[in-house]
Amino acid sequence: MDLSLVIPLLNEQESLPELYSWIKKVMQENEYSHEIIFIDDGSTDGSWDTICALANEDPAVKGIRFRRNYGKSAALNVGFDEAQGAVVITMDADLQDSPDEIPELRKMIVEGNFHMISGWKKKRYDNAFTKNLPSKLFNYTNRVLSGVKLHDMNCGLKAYRLDVVKNIEVYGDMHRYIPVIAKGAGFSRIGEKVVEHKARKYGKSKFGLERFVNGFLDLLTILFMSRFGKKPMHFFGVFGTLSFLLGFIMALYLLIEKLIHVANNTRAPLVADSAFFYIGLIAMVIGTQLFLAGFLGELISRMHPDRNHYNISETTFDKE
């Protein structure tokens, strides 16, 4: 199969028939063997009835319905599990992503030897103050912290090689950082393509400004898990050791100062009168706690069933 289209949605009944017709037109023009996987993320309108009607008419249409709203990440993760096409395309169901971009996205994966291509909505039709400016700041922060040089990491229109989606897990609100997750899994050939962004035709956006705060916290989580998920002591142990040593040096300084006064038969100031005493004590306590956190993290990591799970791209075992 050439393509799998994974389309998460929430209350998009009005746009689904038009989106389906647009996708089928592109598929027929390019003669792609394909499947269209709609994931209904707990819609309360007639979205599921529309998906069922489309599936009855076209065997290429598949529908998955959540009992309640779990979020876009959960919908994508389930869609990735079901996808079978050599190239997987994700897009939103609100008609702001153009299916006309699909052939070029697929070509970049197949002929360009990319693991993943992310869309870049260079010209947007969203509100400049509530979406465009926060989005630019958000993406700039992502580029600096993650090292993944994309202008629009949160664009829903993306293309993947099949083995990419089968080797990553998307949960919580991590769909914003799939390129970072993919890079952490070893899929480093990540490209970008300017794509058309259309004004919303039906309904309203499902995301508010709180996504930027939550997104930043999710980014920190991903960066930590990708770098230290299997070796937490390397993070907590380093900072714990530095903090403890800093506190120990302060305490040692106070001890040496005390001994000098004793050797010279002079009145030594009370240790508790020095700010170094309290700073050093707090630093040693924090260092000990960080070290213990790293130790407990190592115990949990070693007991986890996936402690020796690694992404393997290929082997020579079956070659003659």
- 36-40, 98-102, 272-276: which has the minimum mean pLDDT? 272-276
Residue 309 has pLDDT above 70, yes or no: no
**pLDDT class for 192, splitting at 50, 70, 90?**
very high
Work out the pLDDT band at 237, boundaries 50, 70, 90. Answer: confident
Query: What does the pLDDT read at residue 270?
Result: 79
Does 5 score more than 60 pLDDT?
A: yes
Least-confidence region, from 45-59, 69-83, 135-149, 190-204: 135-149
Banded pLDDT at 30 (limits 50, 70, 90):
very high
What is the pLDDT, as a whole number, of residue 235? Answer: 82
Confidence of residue 12 (pLDDT cuts 50, 70, 90): very high
Average pLDDT over the chain, rounded to an integer = 84
pLDDT in tens, 54-93: 999 999 999 999 999 998 989 999 999 999 999 999 999 9
Q: Got the DSSP string for the chain? A: --EEEEEEESS-TTTHHHHHHHHHHHHHHHT--EEEEEEE-S-SSSHHHHHHHHHHH-TTEEEEE-SS---HHHHHHHHHHH--SSEEEE--SSS-B-GGGHHHHHHHHHTT--SEEEEE-SS--S-IIIIIHHHHHHHHHHHHHH----S-TT-S-EEEEHHHHTS----TTGGGGHHHHHHHTT---EEEEE--B----SS--S--THHHHHHHHHHHHHHHHHHHTT-THHHHHHHHHHHHHHHHHHHHHHHHHHHHHHHTT-PPPPGGGSHHHHHHHHHHHHHHHHHHHHHHHHHHHHHSTTTT-------STT--
Percent of the chain with pLDDT over 90: 45
Better pLDDT: 192 or 297: 192
**What is the per-residue pLDDT for 127?**
54
Q: What confidence score (pLDDT) does residue 190 get?
A: 93
**pLDDT value at residue 311:** 58
What pLDDT sits at residue 203? 65
Higher-confidence residue of 181 and 216: namely 181
- In this predicted structure, what is the pLDDT of residue 273? 80
pLDDT computed for residue 125 by the predictor:
62
